[in-house]
Amino acid sequence: MSMADGTSPAIRVAAVFATMNRAATATACVLALARQTSPPEWVMVADNCSTDDTVLTLESLEGLPFTLVVHRMPDNRGNAGGVEAVMERAFGAGADAVWILDDDSWPREAALAFLLEGEWDPHVVRHALQIDPLSGRFTWPLQIADGQGGWRLAWSEDELPEGPRVRSRISWTGALLPREVRERIGPVKADLFIRGEDEEYPWRIEQAGFSQEAMRGAVMDHPGPQNMVHWEFLGKCFFFERGLADWKLYYKVRNMVWLKRKQSGDLRAISIAAAYTLAATFIDGLRRIPLLCRAIRDGWNGRLGKM
């Protein structure tokens, strides 16, 4: 359904994100959503047991153009568990689509209006472009169709083809997920905790036959990693964040090994594990080896959940 101005007013949207001990950051995200030219009907925030004033600060906000729900998690389940909880709550409340955000991904004013522009297709996951405010480039390189049946990486808006929509894949933050997609592929896999749901869920979307599109006018400001190392191994691109906290590196490697084994089998998982072990050892030093061994072992054996 469309109006003369090109929007889709019948689509009831809930924006969702998870947070923990980031009162100012989470509030800035809610206020960015309040400034939308086409605001969502709900904003649902999963609070992962904050010990600061995050919940109090959010619940004190007034005059918002949507219903703000602060969902208090019974325990810290990471970004994956938090988003899973509020996504399910949003669809239970009657949302037609859920807009997946991070607490530090702040949509520009027309972002949601552009995501809803034109005729709504419930079999396409539209998503915003994420821009790193410091570099002006994409927060993470975007996989887009190369026009020859394959995919290539785009690092900035200048590298996108002409037109308001660009066929893409493996996008998470900024994705507008239709109810029909959720009903087909199920909920977010909460026991990935962090740094895994952003690849596993889009992969399931693709496996189920749904497509993704980047909407050129929909833009979000989202800080990117500052110490990224990029290399190619076995014809694939890899990215490694220098100096990453131990717990973040653990989840990154564990979830990647688990997912690659599921996607491509044992040999692929072993290759990924070897590549990250060599990279981490070379870049960050030998002290990473015990942590990496634990992460690889847990991923290989399917031991997920909180570290």
What is the domain count for the chain?
A: 2
Q: Residue 242 has what pLDDT?
A: 78
Spatial separation of the C-alpha atoms in residues 228 and 54, rounded to whole Å: 30
Among 186, 205, 221, which residue terminates a domain?
221
Residue 68 counted as domain residue: yes
Q: Name residue 129's beta-bridge partners.
A: 219
Residue 21 counted as domain residue: yes
Among 195, 221, 247, which residue terminates a domain?
221
pLDDT beyond 50 at 8: no
Rounded to the nearest 5°, which phi and psi values hold at 263? -75, -45
pLDDT beyond 90 at 6: no
**SS3 call for 69:** strand
Same domain, 278 and 217: no
Residue 178 counted as domain residue: yes
Residue 273 counted as domain residue: yes
Same domain, 53 and 140: yes
pLDDT-based confidence at residue 282 (cuts at 50, 70, 90): confident
Same domain, 143 and 288: no
Residue 138 counted as domain residue: yes
Spatial separation of the C-alpha atoms in residues 147 and 197, rounded to whole Å: 28
Contact 155, 138 (CB under 8 A): yes
pLDDT beyond 90 at 275: no
Q: Residue 272 has what pLDDT?
A: 85
Same domain, 191 and 253: no
CATH number of the domain to which 38 belongs: 3.90.550.10
Residue 4 counted as domain residue: no
Contact 222, 173 (CB under 8 A): yes
Q: Residue 3 has what pLDDT?
A: 40
Same domain, 58 and 203: yes
Which of 147-151, 254-258, 278-282 comes out lowest in average pLDDT? Answer: 278-282
Residue 305 counted as domain residue: no
- The b/e string for 113-149 (b: 16+ C-beta within 10 A; e otherwise) is bbbbbeebeeebbbbbbbbbeeeebbbbbbbbeeeee
* Torsion sign across C-alpha atoms 223, 258, 266, 292: positive
Looking at residues 288-306, what average pLDDT do you find? 95
Residue 3 counted as domain residue: no
**pLDDT, tens digit, for every residue of 98-135?**
999 999 999 999 999 999 999 999 999 999 999 999 99
Residue 28, both tokens? 């800035």
Same domain, 42 and 138: yes
Same domain, 217 and 282: no
3-state helix, strand, coil in the chain (%, to 5): 40, 25, 40
Same domain, 258 and 119: no
Same domain, 164 and 181: yes
Same domain, 215 and 285: no
Among 190, 221, 252, which residue terminates a domain?
221
Residues spanned by the domain of 153: 13-221
Residue 177, both tokens? 């997920």
Contact 172, 222 (CB under 8 A): no
**pLDDT, tens digit, for every residue of 75-85?**
999 999 999 99
| DSSP H or E stretch at residue 154 | strand 151-154
Same domain, 174 and 58: yes
Percent of the chain with pLDDT strictly greater than 90: 83
Same domain, 93 and 156: yes
